């Protein structure tokens, strides 16, 4: 009756490839046609928008993504109405999931040249709403997720200005948007994004935002690399996204090193910096090639100053503390050996 089917496949998750069962429409255009039919043929537009707004608070990322996409489709039929009855209030909600859903929604009309200016004006109004940092955080999400793919330079210019706002919610929105752009196309977007983060960290007015954004991106962006076949299924390595990018593009390594040097030497967010570095060390413990790149990077970071070297060694020692629940002996040993073998001029 639904013209749907189920099939077995694999999906990339936090732990690698996972076997799953997918239930999907046979016709990929059917969801849009169902929405269009319901919107135009029945008089329950507001209950439909209420339902989709409720789904913005669903714990499942997939549900929130599809809810945002549905809102985006409906906005192409009546942009002002969907904005007034759903998107406007979601943009100032206290729940960051709502800000994401607004960005997912606006990506759809942003792909239409007739509606792109409307999306940009909405993002501008949100950015100028200084009384609600939630609105500015939503603007940051819209800049990266909805507007960035079509106009990266314009989106980054606005994010530059939002980086002046001293509020963690706005910094979170910027970080999440940069993560989206990296996931979408790390080769195209990665070099410019990394240069922007370095610039923010060096600017006293944007330094805190730059630190927060870097830690957010290091923790949230992963790259899956297929390296062969095993037991009749693909085997993947999981890399920290920025490390993988700099490992493939040597010209970016100095930028990544500069980010880590400033992050590790900053006392502003020391626990978050430690968590970000420990996260990378955890992936390095799991994969030999990741560990090689990670050790090479940390060795270069440590060579920048005696203080930085001492900080890196302290972190490496913490990975094998007796009371550590998840020790990282191979990574700790590799980092310590590399630093002991290298002089400051090495």
pLDDT in tens, 57-83: 999 998 999 999 999 999 999 999 999
pLDDT mean across residues, the chain:
91
Answer yes or no: is pLDDT of 346 > 70. Answer: no
For residues 308 and 2, which has the higher predicted lDDT (pLDDT)?
308
- C-alpha distances (whole Å) from 6 to each of 19, 70, 204, 232, 286 are 13, 22, 54, 22, 33
Q: Which two tokens mark 135? A: 């609105």
Q: Mapping DSSP to helix (H, G, I), strand (E, B) and coil, where does residue 2 land?
A: coil
pLDDT in tens, 261-312: 999 998 778 888 899 999 999 999 999 999 999 999 999 999 999 999 999 9
Answer yes or no: is pLDDT of 247 > 80. Answer: yes
As a whole number of angstroms, the distance between CA 44 and CA 299 comes to 62
For 28-60, where are the alpha helices, taking DSSP H only? 30-41, 45-55
Tell me the percentage of the chain whose pLDDT exceeds 70.
95
pLDDT band at 18 (very low <50, low <70, confident <90, very high): confident
pLDDT value for 32: 87
pLDDT value for 232: 43
Answer yes or no: is pLDDT of 345 > 60. Answer: no
Query: Per mean pLDDT, which range of 32-41, 105-114, 171-180, 312-321 is the poorest?
Result: 32-41
pLDDT value for 234: 56
pLDDT value for 10: 85
Of 151, 293, 137, 273, residue with least CA distance to 216: 273
254 Cβ partners below 8 Å, 6+ apart? Answer: none
Global pTM? 0.87
Rounded average pLDDT over 233-259: 88
pLDDT value for 225: 86
Number of other CB atoms surrounding residue 272 within 10 Å = 18
For residues 345 and 133, which has the higher predicted lDDT (pLDDT)?
133
pLDDT in tens, 129-175: 999 999 999 999 999 999 999 999 999 999 999 999 999 999 999 99
Alpha-carbon torsion (24, 25, 29, 33), positive or negative = negative
pLDDT value for 228: 64
pLDDT band at 94 (very low <50, low <70, confident <90, very high): very high
């Amino acid at each position: 009756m639904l013209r749907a089917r189920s099939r077995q496949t694999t999906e990339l998750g936090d732990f690698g490839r996972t076997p799953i069962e997918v239930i999907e429409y046979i016709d990929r255009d059917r969801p849009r046609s169902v929405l269009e039919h319901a919107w135009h043929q029945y008089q329950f537009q507001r209950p439909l928008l209420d339902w989709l707004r409720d789904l913005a608070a669903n714990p499942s990322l997939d549900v929130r993504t599809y809810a945002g996409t549905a809102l985006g489709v409906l906005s192409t039929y009546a942009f002002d109405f969907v904005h007034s009855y759903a998107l406007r209030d979601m943009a100032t909600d206290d729940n960051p999931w709502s800000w994401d859903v607004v960005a997912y929604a606006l990506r759809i009309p942003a792909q239409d040249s007739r509606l792109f200016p409307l999306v940009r004006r909405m993002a501008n109004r949100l950015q100028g709403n200084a009384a609600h940092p939630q609105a500015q955080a939503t603007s940051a999400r819209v800049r990266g997720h909805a507007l960035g793919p079509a106009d990266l330079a314009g989106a980054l210019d606005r994010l530059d200005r939002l980086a002046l706002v001293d509020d963690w919610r706005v910094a979170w929105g910027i970080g999440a948007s940069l993560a989206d752009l990296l996931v979408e196309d790390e080769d195209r977007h990665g070099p410019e994004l990394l240069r922007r983060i370095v610039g923010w960290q060096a600017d006293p007015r944007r330094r805190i935002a730059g630190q927060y954004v870097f830690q957010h991106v290091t923790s949230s962006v992963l790259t899956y690399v297929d390296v062969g076949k095993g037991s009749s299924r693909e085997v993947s390595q999981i890399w920290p996204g920025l490390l993988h990018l700099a490992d493939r593009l040597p010209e970016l390594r100095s930028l990544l090193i500069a980010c880590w040097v400033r992050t590790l030497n900053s006392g502003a967010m020391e626990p978050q910096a430690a968590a970000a570095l420990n996260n990378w060390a955890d992936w390095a413990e799991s994969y030999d090639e990741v560990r090689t790149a990670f050790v090479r990077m940390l060795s270069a970071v440590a060579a920048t100053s005696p203080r930085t070297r001492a900080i890196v060694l302290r972190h490496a020692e913490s990975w094998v503390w007796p009371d550590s629940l998840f020790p990282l002996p191979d990574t700790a040993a590799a980092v310590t050996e590399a630093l002991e073998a290298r002089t400051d001029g090495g």
